[in-house]
Amino acid sequence: MSESESKAVVYKPPARPTITTPSIILYGNMQKGAPINWRTHLATSLASYPVAILDPTRDDWDNSWIESPTFPKFREQIEWEMDYANVADVIVFQFAPGTDAPVSLLELGLYVGSEMTRGKVVVCCLEGYTKRGNVQMVCERYGVEVVESLEGLVDVVVGRLRGL
């Protein structure tokens, strides 16, 4: 299926669409130079499903932006992520070797423990991720499924979408 024929639609900040279809939001580390971009792989795998894919990756992100609540672009980004996590039907996390992903760990803790998002979280934690044991134990505590491959992640997300 070509990108133009895809039923899945990817939304990124700063766009703030009204979501009317089943939706997923993507959290996890960005692997520079990874052989597979997990976000693109997941989006491509979901092309035949009418799903809104909420990808916080901001194409115009500028590393000179100040990470402070008083800096408008930073505030806009973080509010987008938190707002759409509450809208999403499935909250997807991916942890892979190459970075500790401290912000993604913070977000995982926030969403697995929240009544508003409980039951929505799915985690892919690849072998070699440095904080894998921490992720596994937090997920075990809150009854969150952890898969160990991108294909496993695709299968779980598809199953969740079919169940909506």
Given a contact cutoff of 8 angstroms between Cβ atoms, the answer to whether 84 and 54 are in contact is yes
Please write the tens of the pLDDT for every residue from 141-155: 999 999 999 999 999
pLDDT less than 50: residues of the chain: 1
pLDDT, position 6: 87
Q: Which of 15, 6, 146 lies closest to 80, judged by CA?
A: 15
Residue 34: the pLDDT is 64
The whole-number pLDDT of residue 98 equals 87
Edge-to-edge strand order for the sheet containing 23-28? 9-11, 52-54, 23-28, 90-95, 121-125, 146-147
The predicted structure's pLDDT at residue 72: 96
Query: Which positions ≥6 away from 49 have C-beta within 8 Å?
Result: 7, 8, 22, 158, 161
* Cα-Cα-Cα-Cα dihedral sign, residues 39, 40, 41, 42: positive
pLDDT at 35: 67
- CA distances, 51 to each of 13, 42, 107, 140 (Å): 17, 12, 22, 28
Beta bridge partners of 10: 53
Q: Which architecture does CATH list for 3-162?
A: 3-Layer(aba) Sandwich (3.40)
d(C-alpha 121, C-alpha 144), whole Å: 6
Q: What is the pLDDT of residue 5?
A: 79
In our burial notation (b when 16+ CB lie closer than 10 A, e otherwise), range 57-96 reads ebeeeeeeeeeeeeeeeeeebeebbeebbeebbbbbbbbb
